[in-house]
Chains A and B, each alone.
Chain A
Amino acid sequence: EPEVTQTPSHQVTQMGQEVILRCVPISNHLYFYWYRQILGQKVEFLVSFYNNEISEKSEIFDDQFSVERPDGSNFTLKIRSTKLEDSAMYFCASSGIEQYFGPGTRLTVT
């Protein structure tokens, strides 16, 4: 069964550093998403991506964040100059009609 994959599963970084979170969406899906979930809180939408461009982004997705589809399979989220409050689970998802989530990357900023 096709699935969304994400790497790494856990990333530890120092405040101020840049991180890149990677995702491989389901191959026949056209819409890709990044969500964030701070421990104990709700799933928060960050950004959606379609046809090689951002289709929608939330207030959370400021200039610190960027997304890219560098090739035909990967979808990345870059966080520049990380802050302590960026510590969270980051989920990638892809959709056709239904949306499926990847297993997530736990980002810890120290």
Chain B
Amino acid sequence: QKEVEQNSGPLSVPEGAIASLNCTYSDRGSQSFFWYRQYSGKSPELIMFIYSNGDKEDGRFTAQLNKASQYVSLLIRDSQPSDSATYLCAAKRGYGQNFVFGPGTRLSVLP
């Protein structure tokens, strides 16, 4: 069974700090990985995706992928209170394949 696991949190960090969100997946056939942000009562919003081992940076966000360890992470630099949300990790096997979502990690950035 394809599973994506995340710590449910809440993860609390002070404003300006780096928030580190982690995700593991069970399906070795997973090829690409996505991070979504979901505010309470809203739909998931795509932050970024990664499919190659290593780091990928986009503004304050850095996604890291280690396929050998089946591990994906998202770093948020200079965390802001507006980053307080639930962060969802998702994995998929290939183009057009289904996205398997983790349960999400709730992040709280304290002013």
Q: Which residues of A contact B (CB under 8 A)?
A: 30-31, 33, 35, 41-45, 48, 50, 55-56, 89, 91, 93, 95, 97-104
Give the size category of B's interface with A: 20 to 34
In the complex with contacts A42-B101, A45-B101, A50-B96 CB distance below 8 A: yes
Q: Which residues of B contact A (CB under 8 A)?
A: 32, 34, 36, 38, 42-46, 49, 88, 90, 95-96, 98-104
User: How many cross-chain pairs have Cβ atoms below 8 Å apart between A and B?
Assistant: 52
Contact of B44 among A45, A50, A91 (CB under 8 A): A91
Whether the pair B98, A101 counts as a contact (CB closer than 8 A) is: no
Measured between beta carbons, the chain A residues less than 8 angstroms from B42 are: 103-104
In the complex with contacts A101-B43, A101-B45, A103-B42, A42-B103 CB distance below 8 A: yes
CB closest chain-A residue, reference B101: A43
Cα–Cα distance between A93 and B104 once the two chains are bound (Å): 18
Q: What secondary structure prevails in chain A residues at the interface with B?
A: strand
Whether the pair A56, B102 counts as a contact (CB closer than 8 A) is: no
Whether the pair A95, B101 counts as a contact (CB closer than 8 A) is: no
Cα–Cα distance between A43 and B99 once the two chains are bound (Å): 10
Whether the pair B99, A33 counts as a contact (CB closer than 8 A) is: yes
Measured between beta carbons, the chain B residues less than 8 angstroms from A33 are: 98-99
Contact of B46 among A91, A99, A103 (CB under 8 A): A99
Measured between beta carbons, the chain A residues less than 8 angstroms from B34 are: 98-99
Cα–Cα distance between A43 and B101 once the two chains are bound (Å): 7
Whether the pair B99, A45 counts as a contact (CB closer than 8 A) is: yes
Output the least CB separation between B49 and chain A (Å). Answer: 6
Output the least CB separation between B107 and chain A (Å). Answer: 16
